Homo-oligomer: A and B are copies of this chain.
Amino acid sequence: MEGRRALRKVSPMTSSNREQLLEVIRKAPGPLSAAEIWDQLRRARARIGLATVYRILKAEVDSGTVEPTEFPGGHTRFGSTGQQHHHHFLCEACDRAFSVAGCVEGIEDIAPSHFAVSGHAIMLFGQCEECQETQ
């Protein structure tokens, strides 16, 4: 497999694991925790350890493919980069995160002028569609 060999120069991780993992992240409606990714990979009959999930994630974050976001509860979730500017919705029922495209004008202007604002994050809380139905 020629493609494989070429790829390994970029990332030493086995491409099948790495590709599957990236696929999982890309298909998700929002960023996933390492444990969620691990879980999905195992369900998809992949034999992979949590340590490897972290190893791949670390490499991808370093290379800029994957973007970590900190969530309440003290864990990081990983989403693919290259999305437009976006924010997150966190379902308080199922604790899943969803990406939400778009933003609001003037959000950084709420800070007093003596702060030098370089970025912002918006987190919306509530119930996702599925959990509203289930309720």
Question: Which residues of A line the B interface, CB within 8 A?
Answer: 70, 72-75, 87, 89, 92, 98, 100-108, 110-112, 114-129, 132
Determine if A121 and B119 form an interchain contact, defined as CB atoms under 8 angstroms apart. no
Determine if B92 and A118 form an interchain contact, defined as CB atoms under 8 angstroms apart. yes
Residue of chain B at shortest CB distance from A69: B72
Determine if B92 and A115 form an interchain contact, defined as CB atoms under 8 angstroms apart. no
Determine if A115 and B103 form an interchain contact, defined as CB atoms under 8 angstroms apart. no
Determine if B111 and A124 form an interchain contact, defined as CB atoms under 8 angstroms apart. yes
Residue of chain B at shortest CB distance from A86: B110
Interface centre among A73, A74, A92 (most CB of B within 10 A): A74
Determine if B104 and A100 form an interchain contact, defined as CB atoms under 8 angstroms apart. no
A131 to chain B, nearest CB (A): 9
**Please, how many angstroms separate the alpha-carbon atoms of A125 and B112 in the complex?**
13
